[in-house]
Structure 1
Amino acid sequence: MTVECIDPPGLPVPGIYRQMAVARGSRTVYLAGQVARTAEGEPVGAGDLAAQAEQALLNVATALEAVGGTFDDVAKLVLYVVDWGPDKLPALGEGVGRAAARLGRDLTRPITLLPVAALGEPDLLIEVDATAVLD
Structure 2
Amino acid sequence: MTIERQNPPGLHTPPGYHHVTVTGSRRTVYLAGQCPLAADGSVVEGLLPQVDQVVANTSTALNSAGASPAHVVRTVIYVVATDRPVLSAVWDRFTKSEIGAAFTSASTLVGVAQLGYPGQLVELDVTAALD
1:54 to 1:94, Cα distance in 2 relative to 1, 3 A: farther
- The count of corresponding residues between Structure 1 and Structure 2 is 131
**Is 1:33–1:129's contact at 8 Å kept on the other side of the alignment?**
yes
Shift of 1:38: 2.7
Uncovered stretches (5+) of structure 1, i.e. residues with no partner: none
1:106 to 1:35, Cα distance in 2 relative to 1, 3 A: closer
**Is 1:51–1:95's contact at 8 Å kept on the other side of the alignment?**
no
CA root-mean-square deviation: 2.1
Residue identity in the other structure for 1:23: T
Residue identity in the other structure for 1:19: H
Instruction: Write the mapping of 1:31-42 to structure 2, written as runs, cut at 5 A.
Output: 31-42=31-42
Taking every aligned residue pair, what percent have the same amino acid on both sides?
40
TM-score using structure 2 length? 0.84
User: Alignment partner for residue 89 of structure 1, among 87, 90, 106?
Assistant: 87
Match of 2:123 in 1: 127
Instruction: Write the mapping of 1:1-135 to structure 2, written as runs, cut at 5 A.
Output: 1-44=1-44, 46-48=45-47, 50-99=48-97, 102-103=98-99, 105=101, 107-135=103-131
Uncovered stretches (5+) of structure 2, i.e. residues with no partner: none
Residue identity in the other structure for 1:88: V
TM-score using structure 1 length? 0.82
Shift of 1:62: 1.4
**1:61-88 Cα distance to aligned partner (Å, 9 max, x none):** 2111111111111111111111232121
